[in-house]
Chain A
Amino acid sequence: MSEAIDEIDRAIIRATQAGLPLTPRPYHDVAERLGLPPEEVMTRLRAMQARGVIRRLGAVPNHYKLGYQANGMTVWDVPDEWVDELGARVGGLDSVSHCYRRPRHLPDWPYNLFAMVHGRSREDVEAEVRRIAALLGEYDRGRAVLYSTRILKKTGLRIAE
């Protein structure tokens, strides 16, 4: 697999997944901890970004603290033959932070399209749900909105040691 990561990439991921040090030369500090040349840390981060292993590099704001306290996981049952096209459109909406196709589990769970919607209130989220429903039109065969009531655990992505 061309996107495979090796042990050095893995070490860099472990060393940076909780954030870069907020120091003048953060990549040098990471490199020193790992016993690698600083250039290699930067080159490998750049390569992982180009391969899509890293989605983005930058500040990760805490939406909850910034007032985006309503978070609705919206799930939709759309025809499989249209899910790619519809998913791409839903995923392009500003209010949608994640948009995925996932398997159904019939009969309990008929939904194949997931879109995470953030807003300052449930009213905000509901307005976005109506917007998605309008975009899906007749392909919206059923949906549910699951609001989070408690965050029990939230860390950045962790890869196990």
Chain B
Amino acid sequence: MALTELERHLLNDFQRDFPLSPTPFREIAETLGVTEGEVLASLRDLAERRIVSRVGPVFAPHRLGASTLAAMAVPEARLAEVADLVSALPEVNHNYEREHRYNLWFVLTARDQARLDEVLADLERRTGLPVLSLPLLEDFHIDLGFPLEFQEER
């Protein structure tokens, strides 16, 4: 994927400390020596191409109500059905298929623990499969963003 110099800077330099001021894009433009219009146009384009998921706050999951990482060992024949059922839950924000006996992994977030337990119990009842709940006990990562290494295009 070909990225311009401006796009690389926008992707890498502002993953944290995005300005909390009335005109943040103008500040970024001044830092990079371009116009505010160019910054906005470039970010809109990156968002359109889904290279940037969003520009905004990244929330710490365990600070907003109750959440857990859940896993299920789903028989291959039922995987599509169970995966769809899980993805359809509004409490689920990530759902991945992984190569393991536990092949379905998803993050559940609810307003409080009682609601979370209810959703888990309901899922077990509807699928007839046990759900492994692995809530976060300690967060060891200081989130500074993720340094992107841009390789030359091949």
**Contact check: which of A18, A24, A63, A94 meets B40 at CB < 8 Å?**
A24
B147 and A13 within 8 A (CB): no
Chain A interface bracket (under 10, 10 to 19, 20 to 34, 35 or more): 35 or more
CB distance from B1 to the nearest CB of A (A): 7
Q: Mark A28-71, 1 if CB is under 8 A from B, else 0.
A: 10000000001000100110110011111111111101110000
Q: Are B53 and A57 in contact (CB under 8 A)?
A: no
Chain A residues within an 8 Å CB radius of B90? 158, 160
| A24 pairs with B23, CB closer than 8 A | yes
A58, A62, A97: the one within 8 Å of B141 (CB): A97
Asked whether B93 is an interface residue with its Cβ less than 8 Å from the other chain, the reply is yes
**Across-interface contacts of B148 in A (CB, < 8 A):** 61, 63, 66
Residue count of chain B within 8 Å CB distance of chain A: 75
B52 within 8 A of A: yes
Identity of the chain B residue whose Cβ is nearest the Cβ of A111 in the assembled complex: B134
Contacts of A5 in B (CB 8 A): 63-64
Alpha-carbon distance A109/B23, docked complex (angstroms):
49
- Count A-B contacts at CB 8 Å: 238
Q: Which residues of B contact A54 (CB under 8 A)?
A: 57-60
- CB interface residues, A 66-100, toward B, < 8 Å: 66-67, 73, 83-84, 87-88, 90-92, 94, 96-100
Contacts of A90 in B (CB 8 A): 140
* Shortest Cβ distance from A105 into B: residue: B132
Across-interface contacts of B151 in A (CB, < 8 A): 67, 120
Most buried by B among A60, A65, A146, A152: A152
A45 with B145: in contact, given A22-B55, A102-B134, A156-B53 (CB under 8 Å)? no
Q: How far is the CA of A46 from the CA of B38 in the complex (A)?
A: 26
Contact B43 A22 (CB under 8 A): yes
Taking chain A's interface residues, is the majority helix, strand, or loop, or is none over half, making it mixed?
Answer: mixed
List residues of chain A with CB within 8 A of the CB of B87. Answer: 152-153
What is the bound-complex CA distance between A158 and B107, given in angstroms? 11
Do residues A60 and B134 form an inter-chain contact, with CB atoms below 8 A?
Answer: no
Knowing A53-B60, A61-B52 touch, does A148 contact B15 (C-beta < 8 A)?
no
- B57 near A16 with CB under 8 A, answer yes
> Which chain B residues lie closer than 8 Å to A24 at the CB level?
23, 25-26, 36, 40
Docked complex Cα distance between A72 and B55 (Å): 25
B44 and A58: CB pair below 8 A? no
Q: Is the CB of A53 within 8 A of B134?
A: no
Interface residues of B in 52-91 (CB under 8 A from A): 52-61, 63-65, 69, 71, 83, 86-87, 90-91
Interface residues of chain B, those whose CB is within 8 Å of chain A, are 1, 10-11, 14-18, 20-26, 36, 40, 43-44, 47, 49-61, 63-65, 69, 71, 83, 86-87, 90-100, 102, 105-106, 109-111, 132, 134-148, 151
* Cross-chain pairs A/B with CB under 8 angstroms, 20 sampled: A18-B56, A42-B22, A45-B57, A54-B57, A57-B58, A58-B55, A60-B15, A61-B148, A62-B50, A67-B151, A92-B142, A101-B136, A101-B137, A102-B135, A146-B98, A147-B99, A148-B97, A150-B97, A151-B95, A156-B54
